[in-house]
Amino acid sequence: MVRPVPPVVDLLGVRKTYAQGDVVFEALSGVSLQIHQGEMVALMGPSGSGKTTLMQIIGLLDRPSSGTYHLAGRDVTTLTENERAEARNRELGFVFQAFHLLPRQTLLENVEVPMTYAGVPPRERRERALELLAEVGLADKAGNRPTQISGGQKQRVAIARALAGRPRLLLADEPTGNLDTRTSEEVMGLFARLHAQGTTVILVTHEADIGAYAERVVRVRDGLIERDERQRPHRPPPPPAAAAAETPSSEAAP
């Protein structure tokens, strides 16, 4: 008998409270959510809705105050800090709005970072990093430093780095927040291609045009899931060959 594949993310009755002096603030009020392998899901909602707290719990960056969280069938609610760090490195990849690249390291070295922490041998991690830079269209810039490339290219390096450990789940928090419209479309086109290849992606965004790339939109308000809807995702045309040759001047102002 074939056992069913468990959801990648399985939250049940998750609450998160914060104490601010004598006041207790409830950021999440009993959220239950399942996300399955290969889905591309957008978590959307206004500021203060709880979507960022939800992403932090899914990403093992924070703990729920109550409720349970199973990651790929494993209960991760009560893991120790060391176990959580190990699970993050092995199971999850992160892409942030601010890129978080190491400015003195080359793009190749930046992509190698997660594999260095994981103890991957130097030759293997170099080959893997070069493959990933080629996948995001930056193979010819492996020796460059982050100060020598554009904002869109920085985000593509960040995506390559997030994929270095072959994560089960890719989490992207406002991944186009620092980019202009054209560059945002190029980056989202890359996410769409990764999803088409089977990568499970969760996008955290407040922008409707970014949420349109997901096949499922989970709307969060006042610490609860207000709506959970499927949609036909937006898929852009293939990028022009010249996209990989964009210059640093295309970076949007912060």
Confidence of residue 22 (pLDDT cuts 50, 70, 90): confident
CA dist 62 and 16 (Å) reads 9
Residue 118, pLDDT score: 85
- CA of 182: how far to CAs of 43, 151, 176, 206, 246, in Å? 22, 11, 10, 18, 11
The predicted model gives 179-194 an average pLDDT of 92
CB 161 within 8 A of CB 96: no
CB 233 within 8 A of CB 40: yes
CA dist 76 and 14 (Å) reads 13
Residue 17, pLDDT score: 95
Q: What does the domain layout of the chain look like in residue ranges?
A: 9-99+167-230
The predicted model gives 185-194 an average pLDDT of 92
Angle between helices 151-163 and 181-196 (to 10 degrees): 20
Number of residues that make up the chain: 254
CA dist 205 and 177 (Å) reads 9
Helix (H) or strand (E) holding 96: strand 92-96
CA dist 70 and 6 (Å) reads 9
The CATH class of 9-99+167-230 is: alpha beta
In this prediction the pTM is 0.87
Residue 251, pLDDT score: 46
CA dist 120 and 43 (Å) reads 33
